[in-house]
Structure 1
Amino acid sequence: MATQEKTPVENAQLKDIISHAKEYGFIFPSSEIYDGLQAVYDYGQMGVELKNNIKNLWWKSMTQLNQNVVGLDAAIFMHPLVWKASGHVDSFNDPMIDNKDSKKRYRADVMIEEKAAQYENEGDVERAKALTAEMGRLLEAEDLNGVRELIIREDIKCPVSGTANWTEVRQFNLMFSTQVGSVAEDASTIYLRPETAQGIFVNFLNVQKTGRMKVPFGIAQIGKAFRNEIVARQFIFRMREFEQMEMQFFVRPGTEMEWYEKWRDTRRKWHEAIGVPTDKLRFHDHDKLAHYANAALDIEFEFPFGFKEVEGIHSRTDFDLTQHQELSRKKLQYFDNDLNEEGKPYGNYVPYVIETSVGADRLFLMVLCSAYTEEEITEGDSTKSRTFLKLHPALAPVKAAILPLTKKDGLPEKATEIFDSLKYDFNMIYEERDSIGKRYTRQDLIGTPFCIAVDHQTLEDNTVTVRDRDTREQVRMPISELHSYINKAVSYRSIFEQLA
């Protein structure tokens, strides 16, 4: 039983997934020809398709299924006072500790959480809760010396050196700063946004008034965020440049818990609807709430390195809008004339906010880990292993592959004709190299749901053989039915119906 979270090198399953992601064009180390840049990755030709499909599905799930949720795309650079109001300038810190022997730096709170997870895995749940609670108390009191003593008392050692020769615990601000201005001495310090939520809050009234929105309503956004993570690891799970998909839902004060529970359940159903096994998901309620929240939980997925947060659901109260209102001296209030219809006096109020925040990169990794499948198959008298990506067809980078059986006898021309008839509606691949079996295998490895074989019978009766990725079963059908057959499988409709 592990005592620390395993690194990619130590975790065989994650190592295989990372290798697969690179070999088949999903994820590349950034600047690899220059030996890369730690915790920064590029999405390859298959990865960008999968990530775009994930983002598009999330976007439509928010804005298309909910008439009271609209979209926004705020700038990465924002006025520095935005981050003063949000608390990031003064308190967006991680407690860091260094091992004097290995010279490695770690997040002190993460090391303690890993120790608590070890106790929980060993069945000592009460000890795990007590350790987590004590850490929360020390961090809330800003007792960094107490945090160090807790690490020493729990005999937490550096996984590299194996020693407990620790430095003092220090706070490290995670925001990237830069200068804006044409002349150095006139430049002002601004920040790369560490989260996308603040762009929504400062545009609250712009969206509400121009869209004539009535509370309750939500604003959704997908965008890049940046955090100077000292401890960046576990592949794309924790990166310095990442993408967030957030929705801030503005509600009447006093109704926030009702909406908190609604979005909690809706978001879990969404993860299940895209094919994530139910037993791989769990809710984790926050023991220690952030200063702005009155309720918070994480939706966690069981990665190869353990259960970790994929999405956060938070009841943020009126903290953000109130902070921006006070510092900007601009009213960020909503006039609720529906109150009069309910027999209550008209009035302005600062709405409360329910937040759903999911990392696109973590979601990508969750989907990849869920889809990565190794199985034993029997063919005749022999048994062999098979690896494929069991992606939901709606998310798969390529929806179908057109494969002429040979490169002659008019089969390529017929296959090209079929490809051209489908390419306007689906992302397709045409391939004629190697045996049909090898081509099936290549498509399995990138998660293509359907392979369409064009053979000599196709020239006679306009039928093709369609192979299913998951079952490997093959069916014969007319070319005229291909579009509806593929569309039914890859459409978002089946997912939306589960959320209705």
Structure 2
Amino acid sequence: MSATLQDIISHAKEYGFVFPSSEIYDGLQAVYDYGQNGVELKNNLKQVWWKAMTQLHDNIVGVDAAIFMHPLTWKASGHVDGFNDPMIDNKDSKKRYRADQLLEGKAEEYAAAGQQDKADALLQKMGELLSAEKLDEVRDLIIAEGITCPISKTSNWTEVRQFNLMFSTQVGSVAEDSSLIYLRPETAQGIFVNFLNVQKSGRMKVPFGIAQIGKAFRNEIVARQFTFRMREFEQMEMQFFVRPGSEMEWYEKWKETRMRFHKAIGLPAEKLKYHDHEKLAHYANAAVDIEFEFPFGFREIEGIHSRTDFDLRNHQELSKKKLQYFDPDLGEDGKAIGNYIPYVIETSVGADRMFLAAFCNAYTVETGEKERTYLKLHPALSPIKAAVLPLVKKDGLAEKAQEIAASLRLHFRTVYDEGGAIGKRYTRQDLIGTPFCIAVDYETMENNTVTIRHRDSMEQERVPIDQLKEKIGYAVDFQRILEAI
């Protein structure tokens, strides 16, 4: 049974995963809070990404750069002059849209109708016009394709114009002395400006990478599709510095590595695909997205880009500080010494998009004699790993169950639940994705065994209490994901 986006949104709110931000004041568009279960799932995804980068690779280390950066950072990166989306308004409905998304939607219609050549031609034409900044012709293309506003059903469009997406603010205690700065629109620049700090202090040798997880902010005009596109979001990025000329080899390696990661966390191969960029960003000489099939279609969850030396070179020119790598191994004889600005391969995944992909994929409704809804999350990612449930609250069963829960909490997240019939308690845990429920009954008091009930199959097995830590601990360990990458 296919879930709709509304099914996902409703389940996420009802079971403590995602809430509208400041909902008691009617919320704030495109801003969300993670609830008690959502924050656990999101943190688990961030932790396994971090381990996959820094623990599995000797030559990748992490940083945590500040959100506020010197404003010239964004001049060097191109964000001040070029971080724009092409926006168009419908004069009748007064609604604003991204011009590229309107055209991409039309291309999807062609593809769904079996006209893939027409879809590809449209995307290619759009990419050419946007790259050449021919905004008048973008509007003409929208009209020529018969694209109308979903609300007014008319094609009474304004001109297409560029809208800068950065949030600005003031720094300084006195208004007259304050200076304009920006909330960072991406985390990558915090890595680039620290390139030499990390390289020298860590004695890093090219090729090496720097990873970071952090908040970024974009003033999205068309923010939609739940946590897929938000104004405040979290990125997990790794910039991998390589010798010029070797970038395409590393680009291909990281494409494959990152696809294996998404499969390892439980996303099925048939719901993942590569999508090469029609329009390359100003810094890239190659770019591909890894897309996941959400209820609203295939969309990007991660981008892999070959950024050349664009960022380091621009920062070097604007800051007047050399950002070059001293390579003692350069040269055929192994003795020649050279300085160069490294090229960069970027892997950039949205934590919120990965959360949404994992949640959508896990949401399962089984029909049959009795309909059952549960979250089929990888056990290592589940917010709660095990729930301990006494059959009844009397005759010492509750105390025994609390004792078991306390011992397991030292190793993985465990909850104790004694409220209501045990069948209802199983259902509660299914709905939040708990992989293992441990039932404590009268037989437990006789021989120190319990029943483990498995979420996905609903099968039950009898296990000695002293084997719980090892049995469940093995299944919920991040190692199960890392060994599959």
TM range (shorter): over 0.9
SS at match of 1:179: strand
Q: Which residue of 1 aligns with 2:459?
A: 473
2:46 pairs with one of 46, 52, 55: 55
Partners in 1 of 2:55 and 2:266 — Cα distance? 20
Secondary structure in 1 matching 2:37 = helix
Q: CA separation of 1:155/1:424 partners in 2, compared to 1, >3 Å: closer, same or farther?
A: same
TM-score by length of 2: 0.99
Separation in 1 of the partners of 2:181 and 2:249?
Answer: 38
Whether 1:91 and 2:77 are equivalent positions in the alignment is no
For residues 425-482 of structure 1, what are the alpha-carbon distances to aligned partners after superposition, in whole Å with 9 as ceiling and x for unaligned?
A: 1111100000000000000000000000000110000000000000000000100000
State yes or no: 1:414 paired with 2:400: yes
User: How far apart, CA to CA, are the structure 1 residues paired with 2:169 and 2:333?
Assistant: 50
| Paired residues of 2:286 and 2:305 also in contact (CA < 8 A) | yes
Q: What is the distance in 1 between the residues matched to 2:36 and 2:175?
A: 39
CA positional deviation for 1:343: 3.8
Q: Secondary structure at the match of 2:466?
A: helix
Instruction: State the shift of 1:120 in Å.
Output: 1.2
1:117 match: secondary structure:
helix
For 2:265, the equivalent position in structure 1 comes to 274
Correspondence for 1:263? 254
Task: Select which of 347, 351, 366 maps to 1:360.
Answer: 351
Match for residue 171 of structure 1? 162
Distance 2:246 2:195 in 1: 19
What letter corresponds to residue 61 of structure 1 in structure 2? A
Distance 1:67 1:365 in 2: 30
Q: Which amino acid aligns with 1:56?
A: Q
For 2:399, what is the secondary structure of its paired residue? helix
What is the correspondence of 1:191-210 to structure 2 with a 5 Å cutoff?
A: 191-210=182-201
Partner amino acid for 1:257?
A: M
Give the secondary structure class of the aligned counterpart of 2:91. Answer: coil
The alpha-carbon deviation at position 341 of structure 1 amounts to 7.0
Q: Which SS does the other structure have where 2:321 is aligned?
A: coil
Given candidates 446, 452, 456, the residue that maps to 1:460 is: 446
> 2:65 is matched with which residue?
74
Unaligned runs of 5+ in 1: 1-10, 378-382
Instruction: Report the identity percentage.
Output: 74
Structure 1 runs of 4+ aligned residues shifted over 3 Å read: 340-344
Superposition pairs of residues 196-345 of structure 1, within 5 angstroms: 196-340=187-331, 342-343=333-334, 345=336
CA contact (8 A) 2:450 2:463 kept: yes
Distance 1:486 1:341, change over 3 A: farther
For the 8 Å contact 2:20–2:31, the answer to whether it is kept is: yes
Deviation at 1:345, TM superposition (A): 2.5
Rounded to whole Å, the distance in 2 between the matches of 1:12 and 1:311 is 23
Query: Counterpart of 2:68 in 1: which secondary structure?
Result: coil
Q: Structure 2 counterpart of 1:97, which letter? A: I
Which piece of structure 1 moves more, 423-432 or 396-405?
Answer: 423-432
Aligned positions of 1:403-442 closer than 5 A = 403-442=389-428
Partner of 1:494: 480
Q: In structure 2, what is the Cα distance between the partners aligned to 1:48 and 1:12? A: 22
Comparing 191-200 and 141-150, the one that deviates more: 141-150
Unaligned stretches of 5+ in structure 2?
none
Shift of 1:340: 4.8
Segment drifting more, 35-44 vs 422-431: 422-431
Structure 1 Cα separation of the partners of residues 333 and 349 of structure 2: 36
Query: How much is the aligned-residue C-alpha RMSD, in angstroms?
Result: 1.0
Aligned residues: 484
Matched, 1:112 2:103: yes
CA positional deviation for 1:339: 1.9
The 5-angstrom pairing of residues 122-201 of structure 1 reads 122-201=113-192
Q: What is the distance in 1 between the residues matched to 2:178 and 2:342?
A: 36
